A and B are shown apart, each in its own frame.
Chain A
């Protein structure tokens, strides 16, 4: 397949792997966090760890929108669908995440509640147009990649004066999460994981550009390489990080030059700024409360905000006691460190969000990497 196979080429991979081995110093470790679940998935699907020398360790980051959404927010969605006039539109992954008391959107759907699985925000808008008698709510989740499409449907709904459409907004911001992981490690001294460098997000950076990472690369002396999602992109980015670390540099480098610029997509950024504003505080699963780390809908579009329309209030809820999703999302633990992994928590019966989403670290380990621990 043109423009795909080239980025999965085995011969090129072996060449890069040789270079990584040559340039890796034996007197140090390279602890590299891939921020995105998309990278975690690619790393395991293509068997990238088999090509890395033992001193290079990949730490999985919190970049999985389904994984980081706290149970309290899911409970709000469950509260929404309890209203008979509501049709909730959600991406598929979200349906299987367990909420409080073992409830999930999928179970609610099976019990007869009107929940539709959709592929894009535009599907939700179209559904609202077709069913003026229903209150159609779009369960919006995701990082900056999926935010512009949500902004677009809100703008369109305003133009159409669509009275039966609203958005339950859970969009979160990548730079805030990375800054949180780096900042104040002393506050979690026992629980901090040393990270030497970051593989930066691909699609998120297409929207926000590479500039937002420059601050913490400089302030925290951590190199960032923005990396595409194909396995060769990942290998090349790992090599670029190793070179920066060997040379004592801490810069933002862009491996994904075929899509990412320093300034990003300005049109998308303007659109997001028109519709959304940062929330003062938002809870992340595993990372806790992070200021200015999520978006809410601005006042002029308040009528499309499901939280104000119905209204809904957020209440923090506790996780399954033994679930290690939080520590896994911080990079402190590996999925196999969790007692529930592959015992009671499986993709068929997920207890934590990291096992649900295809971008979750537990799901990636379970699907692609489980044989290694058993061998």
Chain B
């Protein structure tokens, strides 16, 4: 006959058209219960959340467990190709995937600013739910806090993830060896430039979309093709340049890149030219770097090329011995230069 009785537990349903986040939505009382009920539990629905406990009790498949956490403060919250919600799923899924793990479960923490439109919050939560379903992970526990107006910036999101690493897979940043090849899954700088195109004071028109995507399926295909793969890492903040320097230091090696081999879209190159940025330092959210022994490279590249997220994969350089652990690059111009760590803040709040 009528709607289920729980519906009437709250005086009236949340107004997702013109309502706003209030301090009471984080107070632990009835308003918070309503927000959880009508938004989070509905969007993320799964057996663990349905139990309405303060924790999720999980049974994990056998194997080593990978765990990671990341907080998302991207500004603006919505950008071409995604928003803070989808980003918070992809980013954490990718951090698990870079260990070769199959991502299983996520937790999510929201810090909301009073006055934030519920319509925007729902858009963010819905895209989180969609991204999680697509990546085959469940959001099994969560938390919501509300801070006074002016003490936050709309929404901050934290996600923590766990996944299981298949037997025999051993990926780590300290395993790069001289002679290994450096592979890149696709074009550099798309996410950073897409976000920047929406920034107050910088707005410029572009058809470019963020590359934000979950990479674990691509990783599974690569690991299956070559279990001897040494290291995977996604070049997020600090971009390709900084990520390669991290690996060089961890492994105690140097690297030589070929600039001509690094894929960069013309729109990204043009925007970077205009803003005085170097695309090698601009953030990515759906790309990975792989360090691969030379004998496995063909197989890994072939596996990448048949996956949509690795279609443009290329060998961009080699690992070499270098006590200084420098990453250098043969420029398209015919000279050489150092590719240093990012210094300072090139683009604050990019993820």
Contacts and interface: CB of A to CB of B under 8 A. Distances in A.
B305 to A, nearest CB: 25
B197 to A, nearest CB: 14
Contact of A368 (B202, B273, B338): B338
A51 B266 CA distance: 27
A119 B202 contact: yes
Nearest to A116: B201
Interface in A147-197: none
Contacts of A51: 333-335
Interface in A40-83: 44-51
B334 A348 contact: no
Interface stretch (B62-70, B89-97, B104-112, B323-331): B323-331
B333 A8 contact: yes
Interface residues of B, number: 23
Interface in B251-299: 260, 266, 269-270, 273, 276
Contacts of A17: 334
A215 B324 CA distance: 48
Interface string A25-49: 0000000000000000000111111
B336 A370 contact: no
Contact of B332 (A8, A347, A348, A368): A8
Given A46-B331, A96-B344, A119-B202, A1 B270 contact: yes
B2 interface: no
B12 interface: no
B309 to A, nearest CB: 24
Contacts of B335: 46-51
B338 A371 contact: yes
A231 to B, nearest CB: 5
Interface in A230-265: 231
B130 to A, nearest CB: 34
A369 interface: yes
B269 A46 contact: no
Interface of B: 201-202, 260, 266, 269-270, 273, 276, 324, 326, 328, 330-338, 340, 343-344
20 contacts: A1-B266, A1-B273, A10-B260, A10-B333, A13-B333, A17-B334, A46-B333, A46-B335, A47-B331, A47-B333, A48-B333, A50-B334, A231-B333, A348-B343, A366-B340, A367-B343, A369-B337, A370-B340, A371-B326, A371-B336
Q: Which 4 A-B pairs have the closest CB atoms?
A: A47-B335, A347-B343, A50-B335, A46-B333
